[in-house]
Structure 1
C-alpha cells in the first residue's frame, strides 16, 4: 500500500514500520484462529488484519493518542473503521501477548512491581457514579491524599521495560 502522508517521517521510521508489518503478519499466521482468518467477507477487506495490528503497535510507539489524527496520518482507513477493526482484534492481541509471555525467560532479571489508580470519574462524583458499579470501588491514593472511584492496576515490569 502507498502511504503518501507517511513520507514526512524519517527513512528510519519507514524501515521499522515495514519490519513491524512483517512481524505482525507472521504473528497473525501463527496465532489467529482459523475461524477468525476465514470469517465472512474477509477477502473483501481493503486493509488486512495484520496491517491493523501493525498500526495499533505503531500508534502506541509514536505516542499519538488521537485515533482521528493517527488515521489522517496514514490515510488508508477511517478512524471509525479503525476502531471497529481494532475491537475485533482484541482477542487476538491478548492471544499473542500470552504466547509471547510464555516464551520470555525472566528468571534471572530484576522485576519491578508497582500499582497506580485508574479513576473513572472526578472525585466529587465518587459516591454517585453508576458506571462499573459491580467492578469499580472507592480507593485511596496516599501520595496525593485523595479518594478516587475506579480501579487499581498492579503491574510487573522487567528492567528493560517489558510489561508482564
Structure 2
C-alpha cells in the first residue's frame, strides 16, 4: 500500500529565525553607516531595518520568488503585520545597497584562496516561444544562446566569480547576448586571487595577455585540435573548474536563482543580492 510522503525542502543552512536575527543584527551594527542608523525619525519606523533584513534573508532561504506571496507569509510574523504591502516593497528596495554593502564587507573576512573560477548562467524572463514578442525589461534584456541546453532565451546573463571552496566573490548581470569575455573586467575588479580558471568561452589570447599585465593568470582549456591541448587540459584543472557548475546547481536547486518574477531593475538586484548573501552565510561561523 502506497502512502503520501511529505519531503521538506532541505537546505545547507538550518538556522532558526532567532539565530538569523542575531546574524542580521551583527551585520547592521558592524557594516551599516552611522548616518543611516541614526537618520531622522528612524525611531518612529513601525518595523526596524534589522527586522526587514531578517525577512529578506528568510525569503531567500525559503526560495520564494514572488514578493506578493512572501508578503502573505510575513503577515504571520508580528513585525510583518505592521507594514502595508506597498510600504513593505518600498522599504525592501531601499535596503538593496545595505545588503550589497554587507556582502562586499564579508569578502574581507574569508580565507583568501589562490584560485578563483569565473563562469555564467542564463536568467530567462519568459519561455522560448515568447522570445520575439517579450517586452519586459525592453532595452535592457535581449535574446541570447544557452549552449548547455541548446536553446535561445530572452533575458539576462549572470556572470559570477567564485572561489575554489565555493564562496561567491562577485557577480555581474548583462544582457543575454553579451559575450562572457566582455564581463571579465568588471567581474574581477578588486579580485585578490591571482589564478583564474575559466571555460572555453573565455579563450582569448588578447584577454590572457591583458590580464597577465595586471598580475592575473587566466587558465582556459584548449580545443582538442590545438597544439599541446592534451598536456594543457590537465584533468585536475578541469575538475577544479567544473566546481563552479556545482555551485550554480546549488543556487538553482536551493534558491531557484534562474527564475525571477521581478519587473524592475531594483527588484532584480534585490533578489540576486538576497540569494548571494544567504548562500555565502554558510561559509561563516557566528557566535
- Matched length: 150
- Alpha-carbon separation, structure 1, partners of 2:16 and 2:147: 41
Structure of greater relative contact order (alpha carbons < 8 Å, 6+ residues apart): 2
**Does 1:105 find its partner at 2:79?**
no
1:24: how far off?
1.4
- Alpha-carbon separation, structure 2, partners of 1:53 and 1:161: 24
TM norm structure 1: 0.74
Q: 1:7 matched to which residue of 2? A: none
- Alpha-carbon separation, structure 2, partners of 1:68 and 1:132: 24
- Alpha-carbon RMSD: 2.6
- Alpha-carbon separation, structure 2, partners of 1:71 and 1:138: 36
- Alpha-carbon separation, structure 2, partners of 1:48 and 1:140: 43
Higher-Rg member (1/2)? 2
Aligned pair partner of 2:75 in 72, 83, 103: 72
1:92: how far off?
0.6
- Alpha-carbon distance change, 75 to 64 in structure 1, aligned in 2, over 3 angstroms: farther
1:56: how far off?
1.5
Q: 2:22 matched to which residue of 1? A: 22
- Alpha-carbon separation, structure 1, partners of 2:40 and 2:49: 14
- Alpha-carbon distance change, 83 to 39 in structure 1, aligned in 2, over 3 angstroms: same
Name whichever of 97-106 and 151-160 sits farther off. Answer: 151-160
1:139 aligns to what SS in structure 2?
strand
- Alpha-carbon separation, structure 1, partners of 2:20 and 2:147: 40
Gaps of 5+ in 1: 1-12
